[in-house]
Amino acid sequence: MAAVCGLLGLICATESEATAARGAVQGALRCQRHRGPDETDTWADAEVVYGFNRLGFIDLERSHQPLTWGPPEAPARYTLNFNGEVYNYLELRAELTERFGAKFNTEGDGEAVVAAYHHLGPDAVKRLRGMFAFMIWDAQEKVVFGARDPFGIKPLFYSAGPGGVAFASEKKSLLELSGTLGVAEELDKTALQHYLVLQYVPEPESLHTGIRRVESGTSFRVAPGGQVEFTRYFHPQFAARPVSPSALYDQIADVMRDSVAKHMISDPDVTVGAFLSGGIDSTATATLAKEFNPNLIAFTSGFEREGYSEVDVAAETAEAIGVRHVVRMVSAAEMMEALPLIVWYLDDPVADPALVPLWFIAREARKHVKAVLSGEGADELFGGYTIYNEPISLAPFEKIPGGVRRMIGKVSTKIPEGIRGKDLLRRGALSLEDRYYGNARNFRDEQLRAVLRTYDPTIGFKEITAPWYAQSQGWDPVARMQHVDLYTWLRGDILVKADKVTMANSLELRVPFLDTEVFNVAASIPLDQKLAGGTTKYALRRALAKIIPPHVLNRRKLGFPVPIRVWLRNEMYDWAQNIITDSKTDYLLDKNAILSLLREHKAGAHDRSRQLWALLVFMLWHGIFVEHSIKPAVPEPVYPVKL
């Protein structure tokens, strides 16, 4: 079936409640129509109501959803509601047939998921190689079993109240069901404080107290009228093992080629393309994808401002690997116009400006293809962030007695902001657990206190990071940072924006680096093969040296830079000022302090662009989901390509 779609499921205490709620489920399903405009359907059985929006890729004629399957003695026992792709489904189907005599009625991957659950139980989820969020209703046992993929590629929200428990791919659908569930739509002030520090809302939180997220790598069970029980099934371990460099490089190249091959799976009539920046990650996926699709199309976004575009490098790459190249340039005016609609699609605010050009290039790509490959996850798995060098640069501080380090920290507070070395001293005085909470470092405590009226000093980032640090005791510091990023930055920012802005355009995003087999190889890489030769992702670069074009191999990481620093001083200044002035967030934020930040930024004394962007995105979110004063014109899904 391979359907990256939008699911919605409601489990009520009684059959009469479920029957009465079916119309509400149909209405709530429309909020996520963009996730699966190929097909929409609802289904009900006893206490369960399913809703589904399908974007199909495999077995388009038969693998409809919700999908019912069962063994010969009970052919309608299970019903599946499934969002995602299982890339090893053919191998899994073959194994289930050989071991258990499993029978299948379609050519899709959905039946493999249900059959695996029937024959292997809850541990079946550990056998799934792919991206997914699903629910399986067992009509015999009267229980729903579900799970979310190991890395959190596909989203899954849930809400529980007197009217039942509901799960959905989009938070908006659960807001529509809040009356049915009997759940209040209250803003979560703790989550807001975390958002302003981290620039995303960390799992399992959302900005509404009555809606949470099923965490990545977690399965769950819930019976009608019962409580949801969660079980973490994925426990990633970064554990270096002895291996010769040449053997390691071969392993990396082999597992990446295998992963890309599996991520290219689709019906013959469905074209898969690739996003392409100027970096090694997207170049690797595009180059390998070209081996399996000679007609591959690559897509790049950029800005007409020097230092903020990788279009030229991407164009050189596209020519070198022989693929058609489509470019979408984005202006400040387009960003300002599109941002409210993008925030609506996001469900919760994400203050990463890179998601805006990503939205535009996804929109462009959907005119040509139905799915794209991208390079998300490579930095977390292979050690690609520049900040991973920090344990090396701060190593001299580790030799200083604790009392002296604390004194250095106090001295750093006396140094005026903007003076070179201030932040080095501040961070050098702190332990890894106290200083590192992921790649996003937005508001510090003293800055947050100035703008957030509801600031609570007892709420800190360590609430989010402490459990993951506890699991990595004894690992090298870079591995510990990677581990934290897997559970914070990756699933909170990178994957949220990747899923939301592509699915907003009915475009599927596939991420070959975030594959459990790739992770198993990457997690074994020694520290000296992550950071060496003055570069990051050293082993990955060596492994790809004979695969990707030379001009990309050792290029400095740029990512998707967005010129908001410049635009907020010029083209976007009045726009930002109007958002702040019009926002009804006075009960949460000190708008005078925020306007002062904006004026300070315009004057050029300090760069406040990332902090301002976080505040602006939240204010737009508040206007849409709390005030209801901003009403983006949400378009109907459009099919530029007949597939």
Tokens encoding 152: 């959190």
Rounded to whole angstroms, the Cα distance separating 115 from 86 reads 13
In terms of residues, how long is the chain?
Answer: 643
Cis peptide before 204 (omega within 30 of 0): yes
* 549 CB-near residues (< 8 Å, 6+ apart): 283, 287, 316, 317, 320, 321
Instruction: Give the 3-state secondary structure of residue 513.
Output: coil
31 is a catalytic site residue: no
Rounded to whole angstroms, the Cα distance separating 301 from 277 reads 8
Residues 199 and 610 sit within 8 Å (Cβ to Cβ): yes
- Residue 201 DSSP one-character state: P
336-366: buried (b, 16+ CB within 10 Å) or exposed (e) per residue? Answer: bebbbbbbbbbbbbbbbbbbbbbbbbbbbbb
Instruction: Give the 3-state secondary structure of residue 255.
Output: helix
Q: How far is CA 515 from the centre of its chain?
A: 14
> Hey, how many other C-beta atoms are within 10 angstroms of the C-beta on 582?
14
Residues 576 and 568 sit within 8 Å (Cβ to Cβ): yes
Strand order in the sheet with 218-222: 67-69, 78-86, 130-138, 143-148, 218-222, 229-232
Distances (CA, A) of 576 to 90, 585, 609, 613: 51, 15, 11, 9
Instruction: Report whether 374 belongs to an annotated binding site.
Output: yes
Rounded to whole angstroms, the Cα distance separating 172 from 571 reads 32
Cis peptide before 66 (omega within 30 of 0): yes
Catalytic member of 1, 5, 192, 494: 5
Assign 3-state DSSP to the chain and report helix, strand, coil percentages, each to 5: 45, 15, 40
Tokens encoding 432: 């890894």
Instruction: Give the 3-state secondary structure of residue 45.
Output: strand
Dihedral pair phi/psi, residue 513, rounded to 5°: -70, -30
- Residue 637 DSSP one-character state: P
* 539 CB-near residues (< 8 Å, 6+ apart): 245, 248, 249, 252, 382, 525, 529, 530
Instruction: Give the 3-state secondary structure of residue 208.
Output: strand
Rounded to whole angstroms, the Cα distance separating 256 from 583 reads 47
Rounded to whole angstroms, the Cα distance separating 573 from 254 reads 49
Instruction: Report whether 226 belongs to an annotated binding site.
Output: no
The enclosing H or E element of 428 equals helix 422-428
Rounded to whole angstroms, the Cα distance separating 609 from 262 reads 40
Bind-site residues for L-glutamine? 109
Q: Which residues are annotated as a binding site?
A: 109, 374-375
Residues with catalytic roles? 5
